[in-house]
Amino acid sequence: MSHRPRILVVGCGAMGGIFAAHLAHVAEVAVLDTDAAHVAAMRRDGLRIEGGEDRAAALRAETGAAALHGHVFDVILFLVKSGHTASALAELRPLLGNEPLLVTLQNGMGNSEILETGSHCKVLRGVVLDAGRYLGPGRVEHLIRGNTTWLGPTRGTVGDCAWLADVLNAAGLPTRTLADPMDAVWSKLVFNSVMNPIGALLLGVNAARYGSPEICALIDDMAAECTQVVRALGGRYAFDPLTLVKETRAGLRPVTRHAGSMALDIANGAATEIDELTGYIVREGDRLKVPVPACRTVYRLVKGLEAARAWQLRQP
């Protein structure tokens, strides 16, 4: 590429912020986020990443896509919650004239299909194994770092991924390309479908995910059910979905303070991605006649927890 890549990050929460701040050192980066206070802080002081490898980045921040009309981007990177993908793409339609790469690194299923159906652009799909959390306006904490990001085409070729992988690697975000990104997507889906709801049900106390024999057994039961569903769908794994869990149980990784984004969503009274994660496993299990009793119970409990937290926050 003859110019610095021009990248728009849609959704500048935890992972969106981490990617935007890293990429700002090797590319021209703009971010789009609906949190007006967050955008105002980034405009005033830049975006600060904390947590052992502190960095700050100056970048353009907007609350609405209309402010970016007329700008040309090489890549539009989607890191909003899965439930917002379709509306975000619709708002960005005026920016698609030069057919930028549309990239989803979101959790859950269905995001790349929305990007393909709603555009003529090449679409890349990937998974991220790092983790972070939003601390407040202009501030994100990078909790788990250094893991590989996997990236591949759903409409396009591996060559369409290669230059972007080079940019991500140069930005300090280790990235590998795959001819079929679904192998990595299945691995991450199972990890998230198991560990995210368990973290939420345990009130965000990550040590409880590893210190309770009963919870360890539940995690293993859910992972086995998820694997049966993935196999029935013809899926394969790029890596063992529970690699991080097994390494933590073996003492090869520390037990971090991070219990997953779903626990943070529940604490904040925000909608979770339970329907795009464990809910997907339950629906596909039912369709394929694969028994998923543990996943179904956990799914129902998280739906109840969402309702209870929403009720709690409405009380005077």
Q: Residue 101: beta bridge partners?
A: 75
pLDDT in tens, 275-293: 999 999 999 999 999 999 9
Cα angle at 15 between 11 and 19, to 5 degrees?
90
Q: With bands split at pLDDT 50, 70 and 90, how would you rate the model's confidence at 143?
A: confident
Please tell me whether residue 46 adopts helix, strand or coil conformation. coil
Please tell me whether residue 216 adopts helix, strand or coil conformation. helix
Give the total residue count for the chain.
316
Q: Residue 141: beta bridge partners?
A: 50, 133
Could you give the CA distance from residue 214 to residue 212 in angstroms, rounded to a whole number? 5
Mean pLDDT over the full length of the chain:
94
Q: What percent of the chain has pLDDT over 70?
A: 99
For residue 1, what pLDDT is reported?
64
pLDDT in tens, 5-38: 999 999 999 999 999 999 999 999 999 999 999 9
pTM of the predicted model over 0.85: yes
pLDDT in tens, 41-94: 999 999 999 987 788 999 999 999 999 999 999 999 999 988 899 999 999 999
- On the CB side of 110, CA atoms within 13 Å amount to 14
Phi, psi values for residue 142, rounded to 5°: -95, 100
Cα angle at 206 between 181 and 10, to 5 degrees?
40
Quickly tell me which residue has 């549309």 as its tokens.
Answer: 102
State the pairing for strand pair 139-144/131-136.
antiparallel
DSSP 25-44: TTSEEEEE-S-HHHHHHHHH
